[in-house]
Structure 1
Amino acid sequence: MIEGPYFVLALLAALGSGLMAGVFFAFSTSVMKTLAALPHPQGLAAMQKLNVLIINPLFIGVFIGTAGLCAVVAVVTFVLWPDKGTIELLVGCGLYLFGTLGVSVAANIPRNDAMAKLDPEAPESADQWREYVTEWTAWNHVRGGASLAACASLILALAA
C-alpha cells in the first residue's frame, strides 16, 4: 500500500506528469499550429525566442523535478516490491522518464539546437523550418502522450 511520504512523492509525480502533458498538448494543438501559420521568418524567430524563454526555473522545475520524483519513486517501488500498485508506479515512472524526458533529450532538444542556428531571414531556412515544425510536433505528441499515460498510471497506483 502506498502511504506517507511515498504517497506524497507519487502524487507529486502524477501531478507533474499531468502538468507536462498539458504543456505538450497546448504546444501541439495551438502554439506550433500558430507558428507554422506565420510566414517562416516570423514563425522561426518566434520559436527561437520561445526556446530561450522556456528555460526558466518554473518550467525546468516541473519538467526535471518530475523526472527526479519518478526516479525516486521507482527506486522506492523496487524496495517495496511486490506491494499493491507497484507495477502501475513503475509503468508510470518509466513512461515519464523514457517517453517524456528521454524523447525530449533524443528528439526535441536536438531539433531545437539545430533550429536555433538558422537565420530566420534566409530563404533556405523556409524548408528547414517546415521540416522542424513537422518533426518536432510529431515527437511532441509522443512525449505528451507519454506524460498523460504516466499520469494515469501513477493515479491508478495511488487508487490501488
Structure 2
Amino acid sequence: MYGTLETVLLITATLGSALIAGVFYAFSTFVMGALKRLPSEQGIAAMQSINIVVINVWFLGAFFGTGIVSVGVLALLLKGPISVFAMGGTGVYLIGCLLVTMFFNVPLNDRLADVAPDSAEGHKVWNQYLTKWVFWNHVRTLASLVASGLFLAALV
C-alpha cells in the first residue's frame, strides 16, 4: 500500500494525464476537422492563434505539471515497492506525450507560424500540417489516455 504522498501524486498523475488526453482528443475529433473545413488561409490563421494562446499557465501547468508529478511518483516508488503500472504510466506520458510534442508537434507548429496564411507556401504547409500534426496528436491522445489508465491501475 502507498503512503499519503504517493497516493496523492498518483491521483494527480491520473487526473492530469486524463485531462491532457481530453484536450488532445478534442483536437483529434473535432477541432482540426473544423479547421480543415475552412479555407486554408482561415485555418492557418486560426491554428496560428491557437498555438500562441495555448502558451499559458493553465495548459502548460497541466501539461508539464503532469510530467513532473509522474517523475515524482516514479522517484518515490523507486524507494519502496515498485509499481510496474506507475513506471509504465510515467514512461508512456513522458515519451508519448511530452517528447512527441517537443519533437513532432512543436516543430510543425513552428513551421506553420513561419508562413503567411494567404500564400501558396502557406497552403502547401497547411495541407502537410493537417496530416502530420493530426497523426502525432492521435499518438499524444492515446499515450495520455494509456498513461492515465496505468496510473489508475497503480492506485488499484
TM-score range, shorter chain: over 0.9
Aligned sequence identity (%): 42
AA of the residue aligned to 2:130: V
Paired with 1:107 and 1:123, the residues of 2 have a C-alpha distance of 23
1:2-151 alignment runs, 5 A limit: 2-82=2-82, 86-151=83-148
Q: TM-score, normalised by structure 2?
A: 0.97
SS in 1 for 2:117: coil
Per-residue CA deviations over 1:12-42 (Å, capped at 9, x if unaligned) read: 0110000000000000111111111100000
Paired with 2:80 and 2:35, the residues of 1 have a C-alpha distance of 47
Tell me, yes or no, if the aligned pair for 2:18 and 2:144 is still in contact at 8 Å. yes
Displacement after TM superposition at 1:74 (Å): 1.1
Paired with 2:79 and 2:13, the residues of 1 have a C-alpha distance of 18
Per-residue CA deviations over 1:96-122 (Å, capped at 9, x if unaligned) read: 111100100111011101110010011
Q: TM-score, normalised by structure 1?
A: 0.95
The unaligned stretches of length 5 or more in structure 2 are none
RMSD, aligned CA: 0.8
Which runs of structure 1 show a deviation greater than 2 angstroms over 4 or more consecutive aligned residues? Answer: none
SS in 1 for 2:151: helix
Displacement after TM superposition at 1:127 (Å): 1.6
Paired with 1:57 and 1:147, the residues of 2 have a C-alpha distance of 19
Tell me, yes or no, if the aligned pair for 2:21 and 2:145 is still in contact at 8 Å. yes
SS in 1 for 2:120: coil
Paired with 1:154 and 1:36, the residues of 2 have a C-alpha distance of 34
AA of the residue aligned to 1:132: Y
